[in-house]
Structure formats: structure tokens, C-alpha cells
Amino acid sequence: MSGHSKWSTIKRQKGAADIRRGQTFTKVANAITIAVKQGGSGDADSNPRLRAALEDAKAVNMPKDNIQRAINRGLGKVAGQALEEVVFEGFGPAKVAFLAEGVTDNRLRTLQEVKNLFERSGGSLAGSGSVVYMFDRKGEIRIRGQGTGNSEQEMLELIDLGAEDVEDYMEEPFDFAQGKNIQKYLVSVESSELNTMSNKITQAGYEVEQAEIVFKPNTLVEIKDPEVAKKVLEFAEKLEDLDDIQKVYANFDIPDNLLG
């Protein structure tokens, strides 16, 4: 694994509480508002992006009133400063390429915050198009296994349904209700097939937890030095912790033995 998938795996290993420490109510509310605005609907059943944002809201225990206010703002029912989506491209430690997606009500403020962080890391913010070509736009679906105990069989079934790639992992912590850790899968598909594939997976008896469009690296930077690996991961975490940044993608390839 590498880049986006690797970073996602690292965050899972860090534990839910630590994963979400940078997910402030403001950040999550902005994600909900943009999801409603772009999806044209406040109905999570017909708006996959909103459904994913609401999962984030649930994870940080956001009050229902805050959630509804964010939805209403996206529907134009609540006055406030206009929000816009932004994407920043740059090179972090070890010349690793980074893409950062954000939502902001002040582009210049967010630009300066991101620029300062890149420069403090020894990297640099780059112009539009300097990094994005190193990534492909893909659909990514997180699902729960069926509980068969045969992950190889389930992975083959998901491939037969049309998945480009399937990564299996055990969800932590231990699920006492089931008496075991939960088998889950990360399914990659063409971005245009995200909704179709999500429906196929659901019809096959799996529970879809999240479906979203992501950037997956097509060019990798291999990291072998432990100190460099630490710097890369610390930078990725600091970038994602910025209030206006929603998601971070990178093209690093760090061996598992350097993550311990």
C-alpha cells in the first residue's frame, strides 16, 4: 500500500479518538454544507457525499442542531459567509507530493496557512497542475464483511462485482458483540462507477459504510529512512489538522516496518 491508502491505514491504527482530534465541529459543518450544496440535496440517502460527511459528524458527536444548521446553510436557508472548495498542491519532506482538499470562507487566509506549513516542513507549495497529474481520481468504498470468516472468498466476490482493487483489514477495537474483530474491505473503482458499484455491493449483502471520490497516487516516492518517514507522517497529520483542510492525499510509500 502507499499514498492515500497507506495514510488511511495509519489513521485506523492510531485509533478513532486520535484520528478525529483534528476534526473540529467547524470543519465537519463545512463539509456537510458543501456536500449539500454540491449534491443539491439535504437527503443523505440520495447524496453519498452528505452521507459520508454525516458519518464524520457522528464520529465527533456533533449535536443534531449543528448538523441541521449546516444542512440548511447548504440549502441556502441560513445566511452566512459563502464557502468554496479549494485544492492545494505541493511537495513536503523528501519531495513527497501532497494534495490537500479544503473548504473555506477565506481563500487567502487558508492559502497562507497551508503555505506556511509547507515551508516550515522544508517543502514548498506548488502551482496548480504541478502535483495533481501524479494522482488518479478514483471511487473508494469502505464496507463491512459478511462474517463468513473467508476474506479471500469475499474479496474474489467483490472483484467479480466489478471492483478494480480490494484491500482487506480488521477493524479495531475488538467487537465484543460478535466476539471478534470486524473484517472490512476497501474497494477501489472508477470514479464514474462509484454509485453503481455501491448499489451492487449492497445488493450482494455487504454493508457500505462510506463511498467517496478520492485521489490515488500513480507515481510513488519510496521512503526507507525512519527519520524521514517520521517527518513525512508528521507533516501529513499537521496538514490534515488545519481547520480548513478536509482531506490529504500523498504519494509516499513507507514500509510497514517503519510504522511501528
Q: Please give the distance of CA 163 from its chain centroid, rounded to a whole number.
A: 19
Helix (H, G, I), strand (E, B) or coil at 186: strand
Structural domain contains residue 169: no
Structural domain contains residue 99: yes
Q: In angstroms, how far apart are the furthest CA atoms of the chain?
A: 52
Name the H helices within 121-192: 151-161
Structural domain contains residue 17: no
* Domain total of the chain: 1
Question: What's 15's DSSP letter?
Answer: -
Q: What per-residue confidence (pLDDT) applies to 104?
A: 92
Q: Please choose, from the candidates 117, 114, 122, the residue with its C-alpha nearest in 3D space to the C-alpha of residue 94.
A: 122
Question: What's 9's DSSP letter?
Answer: H
- CATH number of the structural domain spanning residue 110: 3.30.70.980
State how far the Cα of 58 lies from the Cα of 51, in Å rounded to an integer: 11
Structural domain contains residue 115: yes
Structural domain contains residue 106: yes
Q: How far is CA 22 from CA 25, 149, 243, in A?
A: 9, 35, 7
Q: How far is CA 100 from CA 9, 132, 143, 202, 242, in A?
A: 18, 10, 25, 30, 10
Rg (CA), the chain: 19
* Grid coordinates given for 171: 477493524
Helices and strands (H and E) in the chain: how many: 9, 10
Structural domain contains residue 243: yes
Q: Compute φ and ψ for 72, nearest 5 degrees.
A: -60, -35
Domain housing 109:
84-134+218-258
Helix (H, G, I), strand (E, B) or coil at 237: helix
Structural domain contains residue 101: yes
- What are the pLDDT tens digits along the chain (260 aa)? 444 455 555 555 554 444 454 457 888 899 999 999 888 889 988 887 888 889 888 878 889 999 999 999 999 887 777 889 999 999 999 999 999 999 999 999 999 999 999 999 999 999 999 999 999 999 999 898 887 778 889 999 999 999 999 988 776 554 545 556 788 899 999 999 988 999 999 999 998 888 888 999 999 999 999 999 999 999 998 998 898 999 899 999 988 777 75
Structural domain contains residue 184: no
Q: Which residues are within 8 A (CB) of 7 and not within 5 positions of it... i.e. 6 or more apart?
A: 236, 248, 249, 250
